[in-house]
Every structure is written in structure tokens, then in C-alpha cells.
């Protein structure tokens, strides 16, 4: 593995700048990143084999970030209404547009200050401001489901600010009451959004998230899942939320996850929605996180490669997925694949 360390930081820097959700802990396990370092850039710059010019090749690829200022800065509700409703018209037919809309909702429902899941005065101030802006949106567009959906997502993220990311047994007792209260409020907002527009699958995905946070029975969140499938049978976030609900730390098991990965694979192929395969890839990563070396198994890596092959056949220039491929190859220690330009 050491012979690849000079290559690994180069593509992993690009991966992390493009995909902030990648696991830094996993990178540390393969020996290419030390999370004690202040930034990934500092770590890569410290590699003796990394040329300074290489660092300049990587920049953050803007995705949905600019919409935050449209909402919370400009308060241009009309622009957001027009764009989101146009996107919903393509929800079933254009999986890239569907995925973009989901990321847009997610960004608007999780301001930057909420990334660390540690409640601060700045977080509370930003939360209050965001809720006020969304109240204004609801007043201006009383029949729109969109501000209710975003408000529900904000409430869920604020709840996790109170709870923190520790396992349940380590959550401070005083954190549970505000956590549950905020998620219950979120569920009410999201139910209203669902009444206003049941054809937006993002609403049902968010309801599934709220239901899981409240520890509600599977029969309830399965109903949310089924309602979401009626809106879009290949909605990536919806399938992803069910996959999360099947994790062992929630209400599932590895066996259920693997069975669900097969369901994802079948639906992806039958519906000709190759991007849905990212949920199967997510499941493989989660299992690898609990069972180191899982991705290195030949049959597992074969499944991963087959999923990426279908994605790249449809979207050969999808930079986001190219970096995901490099990341997964690194986790599987498939270094020649990971180092491909």
C-alpha cells in the first residue's frame, strides 16, 4: 500500500473538496489522511511527493450553494418557486434533476453553521432568522408546500444540534426533551407539506427521517416510503432514507441491508435509472465501515464496479461520480483504479 501513498493524496484531495460527506476516519485507516491535521490541504501539502502545482488543480465545484443566498439573503421566493416547480415536473424523467433538487432542499434546510452538530448561540440565531424568512415565504405563497418542507428540515437539524451525534446511551438526559419536541414540530410541518403537495417525494423522504428520529414503528415510516414511491419510484433520497432505517443501529440488520441493496439494483436496472445505484454503493460503504475489508472482497468489488459501469455508461462526464469511484476504489485498496486520471 505504501507505494501508492504519493498518488492517493492527489485524487483524495479532489474527492474531499467535491464530496464533503466522505469519511475522514476511513481515509486515516488506509494511511492517506490524518484527521488531527487542521485541513486536508495542509496534509497533502505536507506530502514530500506532492508538488505545489498539484494543489492548484483542485477547486470546490459549486453545486447548490448559491441558492442559500437567494432564499435567506435576497428572499427571492418567486425565483425559488419557479425553479423548484419546474424541477418537480421533471422529477420522474430526469434523475439528475431529481438528485439536484434533493440537494437543493438539503442545503436550504441545513445552514452551514449546523454542520458540526454542536449547538451554539450563532446556530440559534441563524435558526431563528431562517424560520422567520420561511414564515414570510408561507405568507407570500400560502398554498406552497416548499417552505413547509424546508422548515421541517431545519427543525430536524436543529433537533440534532441539541442531541449531538453521540450514541443514544451517551446523549445528555437534558437533550432529549428539546430533541423530541423539535422533531415532532418538524413532523407537523412535513405533514402539512405532504397535504399541500403529495407528489413531491422529497416530502416523504423527510418524513421518513423524522419518523426514524422519533423511534416510531416501522409500519409508519414504511407508509411514508410507499407514498414517496408513488410520487417517484426511483427517488434516490427516498431509497437512501429507507437504507438508513435498515442500519443495525436503527431498526435493521446487515442481512436486511444486503437484501435491500439487491432490491435497489433490480429497480435501478428495470427502471433504467442507473443513478439509483448510489444507494447500493452507500450500503456497501456502511457495511465496510463496520466490517473492515468488506469492500476488498472480490465479489463485493465486482458488484461495485458493475454499478459504476452502468452509471458511467449513461453519464460518462459525471465528475461527482468519478470522484466517488476513486474514493470507493481507495477504500477497497484497488489502487490502479483509484489512480486512474
Are 213 and 250 in contact, with CB atoms under 8 Å apart? Answer: no
**pLDDT on residue 79:** 98
Secondary structure of 66-126 in the HEC alphabet?
HHHHHHHHCCCHHHHHHHHHHHHHCCCCCHHHHHHHHHHHHHHCCCHHHCCCCCCHHHHHH
Return all residues near 249 (Cβ < 8 A) that are at least 6 apart: 167
**C-alpha to C-alpha distances, 106 to 192, 237, 280, 305, nearest whole angstrom:** 18, 10, 21, 28
Q: CATH code for 64-234?
A: 1.25.40.10
Give the start-to-end residue ranges of the domains of the chain. 64-234
**pLDDT on residue 113:** 56
Q: Write down the residue that cell numbers 428572499 correspond to.
A: 75
Distance in angstroms between the alpha carbons of the first and the last residue of the chain:
19
**pLDDT on residue 117:** 64
Return all residues near 110 (Cβ < 8 A) that are at least 6 apart: 153, 154, 157
**pLDDT on residue 199:** 98
**pLDDT on residue 101:** 97
Q: Taking the CA of residue 167 as centre, how many other CA atoms within 13 Å lie in the half-sphere pointing to its CB? A: 4
**pLDDT on residue 189:** 98
Residues 253-271: pLDDT tens digits? 999 999 999 999 999 999 9
Instruction: Check pLDDT > 50 for residue 328.
Output: yes
Positive or negative torsion for Cα 305, 307, 312, 317: negative
Closest CA relative to residue 111, chosen from 97, 88, 131, 138: 131
**pLDDT on residue 112:** 62
Closest CA relative to residue 144, chosen from 78, 235, 69: 78
Alpha carbon dihedral 211, 217, 218, 223, in 10-degree steps, equals -60
Using pLDDT thresholds of 50, 70 and 90, give the confidence band for residue 249: confident
Total length of the chain: 341
**pLDDT on residue 120:** 83
**C-alpha to C-alpha distances, 307 to 23, 76, 119, 322, 332, nearest whole angstrom:** 21, 39, 39, 12, 15
Residue bearing the bigger pLDDT, 252 or 44: 252
Residues 85-127: pLDDT tens digits? 999 999 999 999 999 999 999 999 986 655 566 788 888 899 9
**pLDDT on residue 13:** 38
Mean pLDDT rounded to a whole number for the chain: 85
Closest CA relative to residue 105, chosen from 140, 134, 143: 134
**C-alpha to C-alpha distances, 110 to 38, 65, 130, 152, nearest whole angstrom:** 23, 11, 10, 11
Residues 176-208: pLDDT tens digits? 999 999 999 999 999 999 999 999 999 999 999
Amino acid at each position: 500500500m505504501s507505494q501508492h501513498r504519493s498518488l492517493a493524496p492527489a485524487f483524495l484531495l479532489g474527492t474531499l473538496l467535491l464530496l464533503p460527506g466522505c469519511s475522514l476516519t476511513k481515509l486515516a485507516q488506509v494511511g492517506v489522511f490524518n484527521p488531527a491535521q487542521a485541513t486536508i490541504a495542509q496534509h497533502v501539502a505536507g506530502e514530500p511527493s506532492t508538488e505545489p502545482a498539484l494543489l492548484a488543480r483542485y477547486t470546490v465545484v459549486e453545486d447548490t450553494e448559491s441558492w442559500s443566498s437567494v432564499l435567506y439573503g435576497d428572499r427571492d421566493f418567486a425565483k425559488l418557486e419557479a425553479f423548484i416547480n419546474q424541477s418537480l415536473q421533471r422529477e420522474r424523467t430526469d434523475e439528475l434533476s431529481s438528485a439536484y433538487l434533493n440537494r437543493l432542499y438539503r442545503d436550504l434546510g441545513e445552514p452551514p453553521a449546523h454542520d458540526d452538530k454542536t449547538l451554539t448561540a450563532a446556530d440559534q440565531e441563524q435558526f431563528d432568522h431562517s424560520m422567520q424568512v420561511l414564515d414570510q415565504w408561507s405568507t407570500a405563497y400560502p398554498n406552497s408546500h416548499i417552505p413547509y418542507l424546508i422548515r421541517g428540515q431545519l427543525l430536524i437539524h436543529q433537533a440534532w444540534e441539541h442531541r449531538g451525534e453521540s450514541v443514544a446511551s451517551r446523549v445528555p438526559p437534558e437533550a432529549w426533551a428539546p430533541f423530541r419536541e423539535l422533531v415532532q414540530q418538524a413532523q407537523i410541518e412535513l405533514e402539512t407539506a405532504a397535504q399541500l403537495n403529495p407528489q413531491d417525494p422529497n416530502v416523504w423522504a423527510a418524513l421518513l427521517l423524522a419518523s426514524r428520529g422519533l423511534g416510531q414503528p416501522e409500519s409508519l415510516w414504511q407508509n411514508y416510503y410507499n407514498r414517496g414511491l408513488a410520487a417517484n419510484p426511483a427517488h434516490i433520497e427516498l431509497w437512501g432514507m429507507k437504507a438508513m432505517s435498515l442500519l443495525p443501529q436503527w431498526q435493521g440488520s446487515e442481512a436486511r441491508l444486503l437484501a435491500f441493496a439487491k432490491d435497489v439494483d433490480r429497480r435501478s436496472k428495470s427502471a433504467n435509472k442507473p443513478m439509483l445505484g448510489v444507494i447500493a454503493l452507500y450500503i456497501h460503504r456502511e457495511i465496510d465501515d463496520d466490517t473492515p475489508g468488506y469492500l476488498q472482497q472480490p465479489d463485493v468489488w465486482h458488484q461495485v464496479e458493475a454499478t459504476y459501469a452502468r452509471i458511467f455508461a449513461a453519464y460518462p462526464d459525471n465528475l461527482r461520480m468519478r470522484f466517488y469511484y476513486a474514493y470507493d476504489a481507495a477504500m477497497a485498496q484497488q489502487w490502479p483504479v483509484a489512480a486512474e486520471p
